[in-house]
Structure formats: C-alpha cells, structure tokens
Structure 1
Amino acid sequence: MRVTIDHDRCEGHGLCTQAAPAIFSFDDDGELANAFADADVPDDLAPAAREAADVCPVAALLNEE
C-alpha cells in the first residue's frame, strides 16, 4: 500500500498524526510529512494508514492498495 498527501487539500488538522504517528508528522515548516512518501507502508502499519485517511476531514490522504 502507498499513501499520498494532497498538500493542496491539507489544512493541518493533524488527525492523521494522531491516528498514525509512525507515518505522519509535521515538519519544521508546519507541512504534513509522510514517512513512507517514496516507499510502501509496512503491512503492520496499513490499518493505521487507512484510519488516518478515514479521519481526515478534508480527504487529503489517498491510500493506494
């Protein structure tokens, strides 16, 4: 599974960072960062990635199975 962030949609609510802190965090500039931007999300973190996408109020995350 791959996770992508639509930075144009992201409003920085941070719910994804709470649902999947091993995947999402904010960088020093306040932009959402994806620890697996150039790689597949490990299978054990896939449920958290799905939850993060589900809780995003602006649908800024896309999980590609």
Structure 2
Amino acid sequence: MAKKVKNRIIIVRLVSMAMTGFFYTMRRPRTSSPMGLLKYDPIGPLSLEHFPQSLSLVRKKVLFLETKKRNR
C-alpha cells in the first residue's frame, strides 16, 4: 500500500484566553508556526444582563491562542 498523504492546510481552533469559551476556527498551512491573534471577544466579563444599571459595556481585545489537538 502507498503512504497516506497529509493535507497541506489544517483547520485550527483559536480559543479566548479570557476563559469565556469563545473561539475562532481558522485555516493555516501545516508547516507554519502555531497561531496567536489579538481580536475582540464578544462575550465579555461585563454584560448588560448581569448589570442592568447604566454601565458602559467595555470591549477589550483578547489574546486568542491555538489549542493542541486532543487524542481521544
């Protein structure tokens, strides 16, 4: 049998380091280094549901890092 060929592009999950559970799914070449991005996290620690007073909702950029694939 011939060797199985690996894909050149892999799909990775970038998880929010603010521990909100939000993630982005992106594609990258297999040979490049793991990804890390600064993006806005739509699920912030402050939301209008928890604080009905007239507080201004502060959105901050959060670091998103690539997670390793877990073996099952």
TM-score, length-scaled by structure 2: 0.20
Rg comparison, structure with higher value: 2
With CA pairs under 8 Å and 6+ residues apart, which has the higher RCO, 1 or 2?
1
TM-score by length of 1: 0.21
> Relative to total residues, which structure has the larger helix share, 1 or 2?
1
Higher strand fraction: Structure 1 or Structure 2?
A: 2
